[in-house]
Amino acid sequence: METLKQNSRGNSVEIELGETSFRLRSVIDKQMADRRINYGQVPFDFHDEAMVKGPAWLSWIGLILGGAWALIAALELSGVTPIEDTVGDRIAMLTVGTLIAVAGGARLVWLRRRGGKFKVFANDHFQFALLDDDDFPAIHKALSERRDAELRRDLFKVEPELGEEENRSRLSWLVDRGVITREEYETAMAEVEAACADRQVGF
């Protein structure tokens, strides 16, 4: 049994590929999942979501206020503006302001590096997520190929007894999603139309 894995910043995904379904075990953004999903249920669409990184407002306050204090102190020490207190006070203000600004900026960088993105596959019944990393394209391709193969096996068929419109709707759904080619669609529809015409003549 083939196993695909993702690991990034404390998040992990493990996918065991079976014959008709796969088992997904994951921990993403502190959310755990362990489920088995049929390939035919894999959604075609997905969207990006960002991981919770923690509040950044405190870092921005420190960066802005610390920078402002340091700037005021630097201007007074350089003689651009008059010194209202002692030189020692302004040196202390410059030092403290610089340290606060550096701490705020460092925390913003840390939050950015700590966070990340993941891909959410969702439909009306369920959803699952994969990490947005270098391994994602290969995993997405593996799941998509198995999904398309199962859909072809289950839905790509001519069934005159269902009528022309029902066959057209199902085949259009497949071609719109790239499961079958336009040529395959046209060939199948020609068979549907011919079979439906024969049924009408026979009737």
pTM: 0.68
Indicate whether 93 pLDDT > 60: yes
Q: For residue 10, what are the contacts with CB-CB under 8 A and spacing of at least 6?
A: 27
Which comes out higher in pLDDT, residue 59 or 45? 45
Q: How does pLDDT run across 129-180, given as a tens digit for each residue?
A: 999 999 999 999 999 999 999 999 999 999 988 889 999 999 999 999 999 9
DSSP tag of 10: T
Element (H or E) spanning 202, and its range? helix 182-202
Domain locations in the chain as residue ranges: 1-43+126-150, 57-114, 156-203
Identity at 39, one-letter amino acid code:
Y
| CA distances (Å), origin 32, targets 26, 49, 93, 128, 132 | 6, 16, 47, 10, 17
Q: What is the pLDDT of residues 33-46, one digit of tens each?
A: 999 999 999 999 99
| Distance (Å, whole) CA 105 – CA 107 | 5
70-85: average pLDDT: 74
C-alpha to C-alpha distance for 134 and 139, rounded to whole angstroms: 10
Contacts with 77 (C-beta within 8 Å, 6 or more apart), sequence order:
83, 87, 90, 91, 94
pLDDT at 203: 47
Cα gap 139→126, rounded to integer Å: 19
